[in-house]
Structure 1
Amino acid sequence: MELPYDAVLCDFDGVIRHYDPGGLTDLERSCGLAEGGTMAIAMAPELLGPVTRGEITTGQWAASIVAELERRLGSAERAAALGRAFAEARVSLDEEVLGLLRLAQARVPVVLVTNATLQLEEDLRDLGLEHAFDEVVNSARVGAVKPERRIYEIAAERAGASAARCLFVDDRAENVEAARAAGMAGVLYRTVADLRGALAPLLDGDASPVP
């Protein structure tokens, strides 16, 4: 029976890797910053865009976050403390997600597609994931970021599959919609059940793909 997909393309942060704000949240409160404020600053397009395109280093991105925190808080000391807490936030891996991707990988290529920094390869090594994927499409290396169409085209090329034969998984709706616009099957990830359901046609041999 023909498989429903020829490749699985999967996001990293929010699907596989998860951040624990932990002490950062408490520090934000003590500094008079709204909970999640540091992350909101770090993810602002004007700060995040250059680092995810590989135009600046992770260190330069961190410095820009601290500078914006200092501007808002009026305290270099508090800004530096928040910057350190953000950089040192603990991460965890969803082993159930990784297990499902390994099962899929026994049948088709699994490609990591992520808006990341030039530090991604080091992060993957530190997490023991340097050989976990058939290909890694890092926005900072290819110069295109989700939801731009080019990054989906690159991912399909790396997978050796047509867009119409790719399953794309991401936790951001705009990225999933862009994948669908590029001709892929798209799954918006919220819980591991979403991934399990999306992969069921592939793992069970059911030829009914996700729309």
Structure 2
Amino acid sequence: MTIRGRAFDAVLTDLDGVIRFYDMAELEQLERSAGLPEGSTAEVAFRPETDLPLMRGEITKERWIESIADGLADRVPWARGHELGTTLAETKFRADDVVVGLLRKVRAAGLPVLLVTNATPWLADDLALLGLTGPDGFLDGVISSADLGVAKPDRRMYETAAERAGAAPGRCLFVDDREENVDAAVALGMTGLLYREPADLQAALAPLL
């Protein structure tokens, strides 16, 4: 049901790069020790052929780590690549308190807030650690690629999110830090926000709050 006077009826948001951020210092130190440029492990880990099977829930964490080691095998010994992959998989993370605060205000104003994320099969554990679910959580739903078997920018991710939010696509605000994901949402009629900093989200949410 459309809420009269509202700019949107639901907020759909990405996780990584919007809410969650990683501390890469330990991994970067290991890469330097191995004689690799910083970012080498992530470059291999997030290639589509390495990353997408994990995001679609088709492989385990250990198999993903092994794939990273395989991808680094021409530059470092396989055991070192496995160590780098394990460190990446276990990297510490935090939630952006400003973004979380804004989304809590949206929820307090009576609008559903749903997470729409290309995620690992252990997403539920991560969300609990971040305090986004459980007694202190505020999410009305989680649309995970690992559960759905498809990943953004596949339109099924967005259609499922709008359906679970109980809102027409044209009444949804979609927030993501990747342009292709925002473009896919806009193509379905959603309002898209290409996220770069909390001020972007604050401006987009101003009509709601």
Q: How does the TM-score come out when normalised to structure 1?
A: 0.92
Per-residue deviation, 1:177: 0.7
Per-residue deviation, 1:67: 2.2
Per-residue deviation, 1:84: 2.7
Q: How does the TM-score come out when normalised to structure 2?
A: 0.92
Where does structure 1 lack aligned partners over 5 or more consecutive residues? 204-211
8 Å Cα contact 1:22/1:89 also seen in 2: no
Q: Give the aligned partner of residue 179 of structure 2.
A: 173
Q: Give the aligned partner of residue 209 of structure 1.
A: none
Q: Give the aligned partner of residue 26 of structure 2.
A: 23
SS in structure 2 at match of 1:72: coil
Inter-partner Cα distance in structure 2 for 1:37 and 1:174: 23
Per-residue deviation, 1:200: 0.4
**Deviates further, 23-32 or 134-143:** 23-32
Inter-partner Cα distance in structure 2 for 1:132 and 1:72: 45
Q: Give the aligned partner of residue 98 of structure 2.
A: 96
Inter-partner Cα distance in structure 1 for 2:161 and 2:74: 39
Q: Give the aligned partner of residue 141 of structure 2.
A: 135
8 Å Cα contact 2:12/2:114 also seen in 1: yes
Where does structure 2 lack aligned partners over 5 or more consecutive residues? none
8 Å Cα contact 1:6/1:161 also seen in 2: yes
Q: How many residues get paired?
A: 202
Determine which of 181, 187, 207 is the counterpart of 1:201: 207
Per-residue deviation, 1:118: 0.9
Structure 2 letter corresponding to 1:110: V
Inter-partner Cα distance in structure 2 for 1:89 and 1:120: 14
Per-residue deviation, 1:74: 4.0
Determine which of 62, 73, 76 is the counterpart of 2:75: 73
Runs of 4+ in 1 over 4 A off after TM superposition: none
Instruction: Please list, as runs of the form range in 1=range in 2, the aligned pairs for 1:177-188 lying within 5 A after superposition.
Output: 177-188=183-194
Q: Give the aligned partner of residue 43 of structure 1.
A: 46
Inter-partner Cα distance in structure 2 for 1:149 and 1:81: 36
Determine which of 3, 11, 16 is the counterpart of 1:13: 16
Structure 1 letter corresponding to 2:185: A
Q: Map Cα deviations across residues 58-86 of structure 1 (whole Å, 9 max, x no partner).
A: 222122112222x2224123213212321
SS in structure 1 at match of 2:208: helix
Inter-partner Cα distance in structure 2 for 1:116 and 1:38: 18
Q: Give the aligned partner of residue 126 of structure 1.
A: 129
1:4 equivalenced with 2:3 (yes/no)? no
Q: Give the aligned partner of residue 206 of structure 1.
A: none
TM-align CA RMSD: 1.2
8 Å Cα contact 2:68/2:82 also seen in 1: no
Q: Give the aligned partner of residue 160 of structure 2.
A: 154
Determine which of 87, 90, 95 is the counterpart of 2:89: 87
Per-residue deviation, 1:51: 0.8
Q: Map Cα deviations across residues 26-74 of structure 1 (whole Å, 9 max, x no partner).
A: 22122122211111111100011111111112222122112222x2224
Question: 1:25 and 1:17, CA in 2 relative to 1: closer, same or farther beyond 3 A?
Answer: same
